[in-house]
Structure 1
């Protein structure tokens, strides 16, 4: 059962309280999980129990999403402001420099935590910020369309659509490679989280100015990209390797933008390996191709 923790963040008007919702399971080295825009901590549910077997796992709702409060007035939804807030969250939970893994927006924030010295390792799955301007516009258009649909459709209609495979495809195919496999309950919960995400528009506005162009020195970094990511083109993984030359680029075959649901076993293995939990790197389907064979661009044609 998720719980809440309150702490203070700096604002132009002085310290203000912020309440964040999180789920915590397991024992071991701490691993903080950060979801993408419009999502909630339950995005990590398919991998939580496996991770909790080796980690003290904290899956948090980002400020302005899920059950967490919006950032105080005057605080931007960009990494400059959100990364320190996540550091304050860790301090409030008694966690010092956790391993951090994030998806999409969460991946961008995880890299920011690594650069700020707030993470002992970073694993970023399809992180935002490595786009061209055309790719950013495409992603924003797709995200706004999902948000518009979630807000425009009556809840009974969302529930009815979620009960069929075709309906689940219509609702979630932009972010999952295998949307028909999602449970009706999870699809409804995600739609409701998206429609209620008070930080959505401000996060998009802040994201226009944050192409990620800085290395993360001194921290092990793993970048994972689904070959069927329809929101952020897999070719952006190769661009990420250019910005982060010491990072390990891992191909996630058959996975979409939110890969935890498409292949939980592979993603859990990548997260444990990225945070130092395995002596060997992933092999087979998700093998690392560090010597130039990383096939992050082998997804379907993207705009």
Structure 2
């Protein structure tokens, strides 16, 4: 499978910056997940680093676990950090035939993944699709706390159509670019902006090899189309009782507009709503220190530590 060869492809393109040294080493875990369609054997790729209470990190659609690299080292000083490639993304295989890439199935897989790793109700943080999945795990009371960064599922129909149209356009572009062109574009600030400005407010902060890797990950994700199709009818309207929830939104998010955070607060009244100044849809790159603080504070919510950041300045 080509997705499993992405690190080698990037290493060849950037021999001066070996891809394998840019993030924690990847491992794979095979386990059986009890799904609504019966038990199925699943294999997911993940990376684990640090010590402390477990914190599971879930990336967005078309991305991979390396989206979290800018904050992993900070988080690992206080948490046992597990960043996983969702089914059909990064180095994880798509779900077996007959299993839909929908929210109930994916969350059942993630629950089984945690059990196989011996994680007892970890903290969970997610971005975009990962934020929606994290909220679902919180609703099922499978986790200790939830921090959702620009989570999907709080859109209007028009906003969903816009976001899906942008995502499909990004996918088409990524699939049309040969690796040598991706390499050339990612080596320049203008090229990195062209490839990633939809998701990053500060694309120049992202390294050339990281931009190339995530462009290829988007192009070759076998779970992209099925996951996007399953999301057409998704609205998150459930409360998340009994679990501390933080919802954070970049005020320069161009994919899921910041006003969707207000709807998230209405759906989850006890959630803390946090503004991320100067951050885009994938904020970990734009301000790693701020995002890491939000994630650590969110996973300290059980001790009633208050966040000092206000969302009140976001325009509706």
TM-score of the alignment, normalized to the shorter chain, above 0.5: yes
Matching residue of 1:21: 45
TM-score by structure 1 length? 0.93
Q: Does 1:295 align with 2:307?
A: no
**Displacement, 1:288?**
3.0
The question of whether the paired residues in 2 share the 8 Å contact of 1:30 and 1:55 is answered with yes
**What is the rounded CA distance, in whole Å, between the counterparts of 1:5 and 1:245 in structure 2?**
36
Matching residue of 2:225: 201
**What is the rounded CA distance, in whole Å, between the counterparts of 1:218 and 1:95 in structure 2?**
19
The one of 87, 102, 107 aligned to 1:78: 102
Matching residue of 1:105: 129
**What is the rounded CA distance, in whole Å, between the counterparts of 1:113 and 1:72 in structure 2?**
22
Closer/same/farther in 2, CA of residues 214 and 279 from structure 1, 3 Å limit: closer
Matching residue of 1:5: 29
**Displacement, 1:136?**
0.4
The one of 166, 170, 173 aligned to 2:197: 173
Q: How does 1:182-193 map to 2 (within 5 A)?
A: 182-193=206-217
The question of whether the paired residues in 1 share the 8 Å contact of 2:50 and 2:77 is answered with yes
Matching residue of 1:275: 299
Matching residue of 1:116: 140
The question of whether the paired residues in 1 share the 8 Å contact of 2:249 and 2:275 is answered with yes
**Partner SS, residue 102 of structure 1:** strand
The question of whether the paired residues in 2 share the 8 Å contact of 1:20 and 1:67 is answered with yes
Matching residue of 2:22: none
Q: Deviations over 1:85-142 (max 9, x none)?
A: 1000001101011000000000000000001111110000000000000000110011
The question of whether the paired residues in 2 share the 8 Å contact of 1:269 and 1:282 is answered with no
The question of whether the paired residues in 2 share the 8 Å contact of 1:36 and 1:106 is answered with yes
**Displacement, 1:209?**
1.1
The question of whether the paired residues in 2 share the 8 Å contact of 1:222 and 1:250 is answered with yes
**Displacement, 1:39?**
0.5
Q: Does 1:89 align with 2:113?
A: yes
Q: Which runs of no fewer than 5 residues in structure 1 stay unpaired?
A: 299-303
**Displacement, 1:10?**
3.5
Q: Does 1:264 align with 2:282?
A: no
Give the count of matched residue pairs. 291
Q: Does 1:210 align with 2:207?
A: no
TM-score by structure 2 length? 0.89
Matching residue of 1:225: 249
**Partner SS, residue 83 of structure 2:** strand
The question of whether the paired residues in 2 share the 8 Å contact of 1:130 and 1:211 is answered with yes
Closer/same/farther in 2, CA of residues 15 and 211 from structure 1, 3 Å limit: same
What root-mean-square deviation, in Å, do the aligned CA atoms of Structure 1 and Structure 2 show? 1.4
